[in-house]
């Protein structure tokens, strides 16, 4: 008899060595590979298909909220970066610089965009003349480069793919409203598509975007209790408008600086999906972004009619818009079971002679190991669609329960340290001073995550210095 684990590709124990588990999973499921240049990644077809599904879902939401896509040049004059003081300080050390074309030195070095506020600000100053041109609501899908010392596939890579929205508004209120609207889009998308509950709130001054007046984030809790900042939405005030001289003639006949927002999510979301949902068997992909939603595995496939039936079912499901794959390879069913479990495919459909005889398919859910049940073949499409919805809901509920059981309200430094060392977020009051943030980081390697919109107090003193508290805030170790 073959042992069960004969079939299992080796992946590290998720409970014993989470970082190694992550590395094993992303490489062995062929989501990604390392590029030849340090810190770069190759998104292989399985990983890129996940990104395509994320893109499609987000893009529809951006368009439904009135945004249009555009594309701005990747190479930005170095002088642009210098125009906004905080921005240059934040990005200058990690930008890749193009200095030569072939053997010829360029008159001005160029920055490979780390983000596009500057070049977009420059173009907006040409395009915006009057209040009639506002609001201007543009999004860009693009690659960006930020040279990082420590890198990990999806989480932090020298080059990554993302979208960046850049909007311009006549008033401060409209720009703030847009900033929060898009944060809301990210939260809703994470919940309804990725099955990840997000902590939404405002970042501290220390953690905000270089050049913003305020940064808001969605923060996801990973299975090791660490936080992954998964997306940000910035209220830029008129900082870039002033730096790039964007002005408009308002209805009252005067020229004014408009107010801006910018917001982005990246291929980092794939890291969030992996680390919010995986288990000891590998990936567990949420159905609405899974590249393969259901895999069909023929049983006793050389028996008459099995392959034909499997192909018929695959065609029926595909026609209904279900992303289905039929594995007709010579590998054993056991090998296939393990392979698609590791790859996180939400549903497995077995079809063998007995199933055909009974007019059913045998179905297993990736999120509920060991359970098998049957669905009638004559109503398979709606059966599978219902199951995909159930898998999504159950994965969301599990992530929510995990998260809720890993947040501790803390009153002092001892409790804060215990919480973050016990793989939890700590929720506390805070005086708002940078000094306390720095001290918490130094002592516990934990950083402020964000300040929730619900600021109902859990005390009145700062968790660190004991002085009068201003904010309620989450702390955690983070990627």
Give the one residue of 19, 45, 305, 376 binding a second copy; rule: CB under 8 A. 45
Applying CB under 8 A, what is the total number of residues that bind a second copy?
53
- Which residue, 263, 258, 257, is CA-closest to 181? 263
CA separation for the pair 285, 294 (Å, rounded): 11
Q: Is 130 in the site for a second copy (CB under 8 A)?
A: no
CA separation for the pair 230, 50 (Å, rounded): 16
Give the one residue of 4, 75, 85, 315 binding a second copy; rule: CB under 8 A. 75
* Residue that the structure tokens 């992530």 belong to: 399
DSSP 8-state class, residue 131: G
Q: Is 95 in the site for a second copy (CB under 8 A)?
A: yes
Q: Is 147 in the site for a second copy (CB under 8 A)?
A: yes
Closest to a second copy by CB, 118 or 338: 118
Q: Is 64 in the site for a second copy (CB under 8 A)?
A: no
Q: Is 457 in the site for a second copy (CB under 8 A)?
A: no
Q: Which H or E element spans position 197?
A: none
Burial-class residue 47 by CB neighbours within 10 Å (0-12, 13-18, 19+): buried
Tell me the closest approach of the beta carbon of residue 159 to a second copy, in angstroms: 6
Per the CB < 8 A criterion, the answer to whether 231 and 269 are in contact is yes
User: Which of 95-103, 219-227, 256-264, 456-464 is the region at the interface with a second copy (rule: CB under 8 A)?
Assistant: 95-103
User: Which of 2-10, 62-70, 336-344, 364-372 is the region at the interface with a second copy (rule: CB under 8 A)?
Assistant: 62-70
Give CA separation, 218 vs 149, 193, 201, 306, in Å: 24, 15, 7, 47
Give the one residue of 16, 101, 150, 357 binding a second copy; rule: CB under 8 A. 101
Closest to a second copy by CB, 182 or 270: 270
- Which residue, 214, 216, 217, is CA-closest to 235? 214
Give the one residue of 14, 50, 145, 440 binding a second copy; rule: CB under 8 A. 145
Tell me the closest approach of the beta carbon of residue 102 to a second copy, in angstroms: 4
**What DSSP assignment string belongs to 417-469?**
HHHHHTT-EEEEEE---HHHHHHHHHHHS-EE--EES----S-SB-TTT-SB-
Q: Is 370 in the site for a second copy (CB under 8 A)?
A: no
Closest to a second copy by CB, 88 or 424: 88
Q: Is 8 in the site for a second copy (CB under 8 A)?
A: no
Q: Is 98 in the site for a second copy (CB under 8 A)?
A: yes
Per the CB < 8 A criterion, the answer to whether 353 and 332 are in contact is no
User: Which of 70-78, 168-176, 231-239, 380-388 is the region at the interface with a second copy (rule: CB under 8 A)?
Assistant: 70-78
Q: Is 78 in the site for a second copy (CB under 8 A)?
A: no
Q: Is 464 in the site for a second copy (CB under 8 A)?
A: no
Q: Is 112 in the site for a second copy (CB under 8 A)?
A: yes
Per the CB < 8 A criterion, the answer to whether 24 and 12 are in contact is yes
First-to-last alpha carbon distance for the chain, in angstroms, is 43
Tell me the closest approach of the beta carbon of residue 76 to a second copy, in angstroms: 7
Q: Is 127 in the site for a second copy (CB under 8 A)?
A: yes
Give CA separation, 83 vs 133, 207, 244, 264, in Å: 24, 21, 7, 22
Binding positions for a second copy, 18-37, rule CB under 8 A = 33, 35-37
Contacts of 304 (CB under 8 A, 6+ apart): none
Per the CB < 8 A criterion, the answer to whether 308 and 296 are in contact is no
Tell me the closest approach of the beta carbon of residue 176 to a second copy, in angstroms: 24
Q: Is 61 in the site for a second copy (CB under 8 A)?
A: no
Q: Is 50 in the site for a second copy (CB under 8 A)?
A: no
Give backbone dihedrals phi and psi of 428, rounded to 5 degrees, phi first: -150, 175
To 10 degrees, what angle do helices 434-444 and 413-421 make? 50
Closest to a second copy by CB, 161 or 198: 161
* Residues making contact with a second copy (CB under 8 A): 33, 35-37, 40-45, 48-49, 51-52, 68-77, 80, 92-103, 109-110, 112, 119, 122-123, 126-127, 138, 142-143, 145, 147, 158-159, 161
């Amino acid at each position: 008899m073959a042992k069960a684990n004969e079939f299992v590709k080796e992946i590290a124990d998720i409970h014993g060595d989470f970082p190694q588990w992550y590395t094993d999973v992303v490489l062995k499921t062929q989501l990604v590979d390392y590029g030849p240049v340090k810190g770069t990644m190759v998104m292989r077809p399985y990983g890129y298909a996940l990104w395509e599904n994320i893109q499609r879902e987000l893009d529809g939401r951006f368009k439904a909220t009135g945004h249009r896509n555009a594309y701005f040049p990747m190479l930005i004059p170095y002088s642009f970066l210098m125009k906004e003081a905080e921005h240059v300080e934040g990005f200058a050390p990690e930008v890749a610089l193009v200095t030569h074309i072939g053997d010829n030195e360029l008159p001005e070095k160029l920055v490979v965009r780390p983000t596009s506020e500057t070049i977009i600000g420059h173009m907006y100053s040409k395009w915006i003349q009057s209040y009639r041109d506002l609001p201007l609501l543009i999004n860009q899908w693009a690659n960006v480069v930020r040279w990082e010392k420590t890198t990990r596939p999806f989480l932090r890579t020298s080059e990554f793919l993302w979208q960046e929205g850049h909007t311009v508004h006549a008033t401060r209120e409209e720009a703030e409203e847009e900033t929060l609207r898009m944060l809301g889009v990210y939260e809703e998308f994470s919940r309804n598509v990725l099955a990840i509950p997000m902590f939404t709130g405002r970042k501290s001054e220390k953690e905000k975007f270089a050049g913003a007046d305020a940064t808001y984030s969605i923060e996801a809790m990973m299975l090791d209790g660490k936080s992954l900042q998964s997306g940000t939405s910035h209220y830029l005030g008129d900082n870039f408008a002033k730096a790039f001289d964007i002005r408009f003639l308002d209805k009252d006949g005067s020229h004014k600086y408009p107010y801006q927002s910018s917001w982005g999510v990246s291929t980092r979301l794939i890291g969030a999906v992996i680390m919010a949902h995986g288990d000891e068997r590998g990936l567990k992909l949420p159905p609405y972004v899974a590249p393969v939603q259901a895999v069909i595995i023929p049983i006793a496939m050389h028996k008459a009619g099995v392959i034909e039936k499997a192909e018929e079912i695959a065609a029926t499901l595909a026609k209904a818009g279900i992303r289905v794959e039929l594995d007709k390879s010579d590998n054993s069913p056991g090998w296939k079971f393990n392979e698609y479990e590791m790859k996180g495919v939400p549903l497995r459909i077995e079809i063998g002679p007995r199933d055909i005889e009974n007019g059913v398919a045998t179905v297993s859910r990736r999120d509920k190991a060991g359970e098998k049940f049957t669905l009638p073949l004559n109503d398979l499409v709606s059966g599978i669609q219902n199951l995909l919805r159930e898998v999504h809901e159950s994965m969301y509920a599990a992530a929510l329960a995990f998260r809720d059981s890993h947040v501790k309200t803390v009153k002092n430094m001892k409790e804060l340290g215990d919480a973050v060392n016990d793989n939890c977020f700590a929720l506390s009051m805070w005086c708002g001073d940078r000094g306390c943030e720095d001290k918490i980081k130094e002592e516990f390697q934990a950083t402020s995550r964000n300040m929730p919109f619900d600021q109902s107090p859990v005390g009145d003193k700062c968790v660190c210095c004991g002085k009068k508290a201003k904010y309620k805030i989450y702390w955690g170790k983070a990627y």
